Chains A and B, each alone.
Chain A
Amino acid sequence: AQKITQTQPGMFVQEKEAVTLDCTYDTSDPSYGLFWYKQPSSGEMIFLIYQGSYDQQNATEGRYSLNFQKARKSANLVISASQLGDSAMYFCAMSEGPKAAGNKLTFGGGTRVLVKP
């Protein structure tokens, strides 16, 4: 079974609008972390946001917020006020187990976002 599922292969969003990228995960470990990374066309991996399984509040970082619904095993990324520079591939990823074992990430297949002016 897929551990991380991103069901939207690609999407368009109008500049200045918000966009939600879906991510569902599968794990039986009570301790896990959820990550979102951005990969522009230049290829580098840019960390956006992190949510721990025990965190009570949804994570936010600037224009990025993570809508964490633990019971539904979903960790959707919301990008507010989209900018042209947000056009990129976005990956959801998960690490399982205690942090002392390292954040070994399992990635989803990604969602390509294109922001239209």
Chain B
Amino acid sequence: AQSVTQPDIHITVSEGASLELRCNYSYGATPYLFWYVQSPGQGLQLLLKYFSGDTLVQGIKGFEAEFKRSQSSFNLRKPSVHWSDAAEYFCAVGGGSQGNLIFGKGTKLSVKP
């Protein structure tokens, strides 16, 4: 079955510390992978996406993610977190011919001063 797992429901990091949010997926075909961020009461903003090629992808706001096929993972990283990064982060997987994405349940990030 196709699924996305984000093992961490809530993470708290100190401002300036590094961040890694985990995402594991199960998908029968070649996956297209995405990370979205959602602030409270807002829509989803695309941070980055992976289709093919270089397995390390760069996104907006200083985020990057690495696709590891052997581990079925697509973890999101940021070297130095800012207070404005506090939000909920969603990993999603889809296929090129599929219209819909499958989302994880999200990881809520809190940033302490």
Q: Do A and B bind each other?
A: no
Q: Which residues of A contact B (CB under 8 A)?
A: none
